[in-house]
Structure 1
Amino acid sequence: MRITVRVAAVQAEPSWLRLSDGVEQVVELIRAAATQGARLIAFPEAFLPGYPWWRWIDTNQWNVEYSTRCRENSMTRDGVEMRAITGAAAAHDIHVVLGFGERQDRRIYMSQAVIDDSGELLSVRRKAGLNSVERKIFASGTPNLPAVHHTPIGKYGALSGQENQRPLLTRALRADEEQIHVAAWSGSPYADAAGPDSSTTVSRMYALEVGAFVLAPTAVVGESAFDGMGGAPRISSPTGRACIYAADGREVVTPLEEGEEGILYADLDLVADSADTQQCDSARAARDRKDRDPAPVRRGSRRVASGWQSGPDRWALPMSLGTYPGGTAAC
């Protein structure tokens, strides 16, 4: 059975280091995408509270101040901010992939949340392979393999930044027959810091390697990013461009102008697995029953499903060979 799924890739400037404003911005973008018929919306890397690109600038007198503000404006995975975002996903019947700074105690992680159209938080994965600058602000997550989520709109997964070019991770997603991939990028105030068009090149190569549609949301870095940044050099124009690629590497839709804020839409033609759809419908019905009925009181020891972790990364998959609910993990 073939289905057509409308997807959305965000190209927007974050509400830099203002968490409450950023949550309102995310909720509004979710609403706007759903109004246009999108079933999946993808946000850039660390969109909340904004990627800390200032660490690349050699003016350390304000680096400590802004690192502190970054921590204060990061959110927890189960806090009121996340509940507002999952509530928006449920209210507008849309899947959401969100990059955010996740605060736990005094540490912050570069995390990526996957939320389904019922508002269920399917996974939160912490980026493990940080570059030298990111490690000055963020803690490294547990090196887990990413999951492909089997849903009525297809099989989709997500990675952040340079993770999209790491064979161990990309092969795990390909092994589970990923159909839609979110390659989230942070943008840069000075064009493509890693090299000319590196993010678009990596996204295109991912599509060719895995054979999946690729949504590459990207943050815009504009003049407002420099407010209060002391002697940081200014940019001449906003930077950042989102793209959507087909499995053969071609652009599915014409991108927005670089630095222009908006949402990029595309209609993807997919082969839907009826077994996956039935499984998702059954899972949703079970969640609905659980919401209606009070949970029974259980006594005795609690059994943890094999292959899944407890603790901070309990929604992530261990980096090992084997199977997990919804697919096969392979190195």
Structure 2
Amino acid sequence: MSLLTVESLTKEFGDVTAVRDVSFNVSDGEFVSILGPSGSGKSTILRMIAGFETPTNGSIRLNTTELVGVPPFERDINMVFQNLALFPHLTVAENIGYGLKQAGVKKSERAERTKKMLQMVHLDGYGSRSPDELSGGEQQRVALARALVNEPELVLFDEPLSSLDRKLRQHMQTELQRIQSETGTTFLYVTHDQEVALSVSDRLVVLNEGEIEQIGSAEDLYETPESTFVADFIGDVNQIPAVVTGTAETEITVEIESKPVSFARNGAPPVSSGDNITVCVRPHKVSVSDTGTDGQLLKTRGTVQERSYQGSDIIYVIETPWGRLIANVRGQKFAVGDDVVVGWNADDMHVFPTEQTPPQEVA
């Protein structure tokens, strides 16, 4: 059952369209992330759902109630901000119970519900402390407890983990999943951090320049991207230019550096002979060897330019006639300067029209 329904949502700021005709839904109890680079419109969408921005066009419904025009404090929605916005003059317990006090909940009930939330976020015994006595991760949990204590239908998150170091961010990812699972509360999470979004979400909404590129699970987006943007933004990908030389109902033939290759369509978009396309393959699907692997349709020689040891895997950057390729391999060791054969199976490729350009690196 859809708890949140967003339909044809558009937001214009003067001549700039920040969000264009966005539609998606979030089911009751689901953890959904909106993922995209800076400036893609994700925070604007969140602010419209929260009521801090008014859409230019479109509809936002919580269950069956239309939210456009409803003040933020009348929406059954809470938000965890990037800067957390804890009250420095209140104790941890007072911060958590603030919304209950504003709602007129009796002191004894506030105390009991606050105590349960402190236990839920593993901060039992911290109620009398000041927020400035807590670590960054502990402050995150206080903000989350405050957002959950009055049992809202939906909790919104605007990149709340962006200021944490990687180890603490990974710990908080696990905590978010645990708390969301235990409470059954619906979470809508906004971030530009692929690692966070992929690890915590049931589904992801990928935005690019205010429009949706693709919606799906982490596996769907990684294994079957629908555009070069998604392929490049969700993990690393090698991109090789090619030309379509033939098409059939179940097969496409392309030419890469004068080498013809035929492979199954595998959901590839419609293409015609003569079209310029981009062939994409994930680094972990690329093999590196001395002589090549039998049965691989695509292989080329190259020279190792960079080598990065990653524990169980080694990441190689290899200069080839097809450009620089990245390979993430296990069990093979080569040195910088070695001549090698790079290859992959045609079934591991994704094909997109060349005009779908990859995103620029996000600062």
- TM-score, normalised to structure 1, is 0.30
**Larger strand share, 1 or 2:** 2
Larger RCO, structures 1/2 (Cα 8 Å, 6+ apart) = 1
- Larger Rg over CA atoms: 2
- TM-score, normalised to structure 2, is 0.28
